[in-house]
Amino acid sequence: MDNIRLFFALCCGILCGACTHTTTPPSDDVLVPLQSISPFPVGVAVDVGRLLSHTPYRTVAETHFNSFTAENSMKMSALRPDASSFYWDEADTLAAFCKQLGARLHGHTLVWHNQNPDWVENFQGTPEQWAAMLKKHIQTVVARYKGTATTWDVVNEAFDDNGGLRPTIWRQHLGDDYIAQCFQWAREADPTAQLLYNDYNVEENGAKLQAVLLMLDDFQKRGIPIDGIGFQMHILDTYPPLPSIHAAVQAVQQRGVLIHFSELDVSLNFAKTATALTEGMKQRQRQRVEDIVSLYRTIPAAQQVGITLWGIADTDSWIPNFFSRLDWPLLFDEQYNPKPALYGFLDALRK
Choose between 156 and 304: whose C-beta lies nearer to ligand XIL.
Answer: 156
Choose between 113 and 136: whose C-beta lies nearer to ligand XIL.
Answer: 113
Segment 261 to 290, residues that bind ligand XIL, using CB under 6 A? 263
Number of residues forming the site for ligand XIL (CB under 6 A): 6
Interface mask (CB under 6 A) for ligand XIL, residues 118-137, using x and -?
--------------------
Given a contact cutoff of 8 angstroms between Cβ atoms, the answer to whether 227 and 154 are in contact is no
Close Cβ partners of 172 (under 8 Å, ≥ 6 residues apart):
none
Choose between 123 and 318: whose C-beta lies nearer to ligand XIL.
Answer: 318
Least distance CB 70 / ligand XIL (angstroms): 9
Least distance CB 40 / ligand XIL (angstroms): 20
In a 3-state reduction of DSSP, which class is residue 273? coil
Least distance CB 39 / ligand XIL (angstroms): 25
Choose between 206 and 320: whose C-beta lies nearer to ligand XIL.
Answer: 320
Does residue 72 touch ligand XIL according to CB under 6 A? yes
C-beta nearest to ligand XIL: residue: 318
Given a contact cutoff of 8 angstroms between Cβ atoms, the answer to whether 30 and 20 are in contact is no
Does residue 71 touch ligand XIL according to CB under 6 A? yes
Angle at 40 between CA 39 and CA 45, to 5 degrees: 140
Choose between 116 and 156: whose C-beta lies nearer to ligand XIL.
Answer: 156
Interface mask (CB under 6 A) for ligand XIL, residues 235-264, using x and -?
----------------------------x-
Selected from 67, 232, 285, 308, the binder of ligand XIL by CB under 6 A is: 232
Least distance CB 54 / ligand XIL (angstroms): 16
Selected from 86, 270, 318, 323, the binder of ligand XIL by CB under 6 A is: 318
DSSP string, 79-109: H-SBTTB---HHHHHHHHHHHHHTPEEEEEE
Q: How far apart are CA 248 and CA 203, in angstroms?
A: 6
Close Cβ partners of 265 (under 8 Å, ≥ 6 residues apart):
233, 234, 235, 309, 310, 311, 317, 319, 329, 330
Q: Known catalytic residues?
A: 157, 263
Least distance CB 251 / ligand XIL (angstroms): 21
Side-chain-side CA neighbours of 252 within 13 Å: the count stands at 36
Q: Which residues is 79 bridged to in the sheet?
A: none
Residue 300 to residues 201, 250, 277, 296, 305: CA-CA distances in angstroms? 22, 11, 35, 9, 11
Choose between 252 and 349: whose C-beta lies nearer to ligand XIL.
Answer: 252
Q: How far apart are CA 210 and CA 98, in angstroms?
A: 35
Least distance CB 318 / ligand XIL (angstroms): 3
Close Cβ partners of 228 (under 8 Å, ≥ 6 residues apart):
194, 195, 196, 197, 252, 257, 258, 259, 260, 303, 305
Selected from 151, 156, 181, 184, the binder of ligand XIL by CB under 6 A is: 156
In a 3-state reduction of DSSP, which class is residue 157? coil
Least distance CB 157 / ligand XIL (angstroms): 6
Does residue 308 touch ligand XIL according to CB under 6 A? no
In a 3-state reduction of DSSP, which class is residue 295? helix
Q: How far apart are CA 150 and CA 143, in angstroms?
A: 11
**Residues of this chain that bind ligand XIL (CB under 6 A):** 71-72, 156, 232, 263, 318
